[in-house]
A = this chain, B = another copy of it.
């Protein structure tokens, strides 16, 4: 039997995958994407003699949610390895929503993920990735360009380690203080890979959950994930940790909200290792009416200089992404 470098994974969406209006959570989709990517990279990195290994998620490129997905639809997740460096694997994942009653299909996501293989014998050792064969020299060079670009971006990312979300006493409506939220989650065995570290997809699902609550608290309507900025996974989270996921609104445009999300891990048992920041990311949400049409978003009320600074940074990310989308459309 031949196991290909591609994988295809259909799954029916259940009530528990969605909000009360029936929209599948962005976090559920991110988790499926990461699962498919994890399977294909782990399989590829074990096609050689030597140490057995598990591929751990290192980075997800910016991902747009092009269409909503609903309960009862079948999500088709296809993954393909598109580039390999000495120590990392690039995976392209496409998600298609199929309404098996009407036969209608629509592409909901296209994502690019980077994985790094860690040895099962020594969980701190990164093993070498077997090279893939490229269809053309062009394809290989294109892949190399992506690789160098993400490497640079990874180095630039700061973990914002010192920053914590501080509560605000009696906050007013539409301020940062009134919608900021955090949850704690005790890491269980089902959350972890064979290495005993939390699946990247589990972390992203928690992040989307918090971002969704922040967005709903701000505009009190049905909200859905519109996009996620590139996410770098700087540090692994171990089984038995308590994870604190916090979110706060940074920016609002006419029809969208940007929410910054922090993930902090706290090893209760090996207390000397202390609490550390594991991941940060920006989620963009939109607000929908009963027919699924976008609604205007109430503007964020800024209360101090720091919030103003974060708002400006959010605005510049928003304008950059808008410009990028326009440029892509023109190219097509």
Contacts and interface: CB of A to CB of B under 8 A. Distances in A.
Interface of A: 1, 3, 7-12, 14-16, 19-20, 35-36, 38-39, 42-43, 46-47, 52-54, 71-72, 74, 76, 96, 98, 100-103, 105, 120, 164, 166-167, 181-186, 188-190, 194, 209-210, 212-213, 216-217, 220-221, 239-240, 242, 266, 268-271, 274-275
Contacts of A181: 10, 184, 242
A93 to B, nearest CB: 13
A18 to B, nearest CB: 9
Contact of A220 (B15, B101, B120, B183): B101
Contacts of A221: 101, 269
B182 A8 contact: yes
Nearest to A77: B184
- Which A-B residue pairs are the 3 nearest by beta carbons? A15-B189, A52-B101, A15-B15
A266 B213 CA distance: 11
Nearest to A120: B269
A36 B268 CA distance: 13
B15 A35 contact: no
A98 B47 CA distance: 13
Contact of A271 (B14, B39, B47): B47
19 contacts: A1-B96, A1-B274, A3-B76, A3-B98, A9-B184, A10-B39, A14-B189, A15-B15, A15-B189, A16-B16, A43-B98, A43-B266, A53-B269, A100-B213, A101-B120, A103-B220, A181-B242, A184-B213, A189-B190
- Most B CB contacts (10 A, CB to CB) among A43, A52, A212 go to A43
B39 A216 contact: no
A269 B52 contact: yes
A186 B35 contact: yes
Contact of A102 (B8, B52, B105, B209): B52
A271 to B, nearest CB: 4
Contacts of A105: 1, 3
A11 B72 CA distance: 19
A72 B213 contact: no
A209 B39 contact: no
Given A7-B184, A71-B194, 11 more contacts: A3-B275, A10-B39, A15-B188, A19-B72, A46-B103, A52-B269, A52-B270, A181-B184, A181-B242, A194-B240, A217-B268
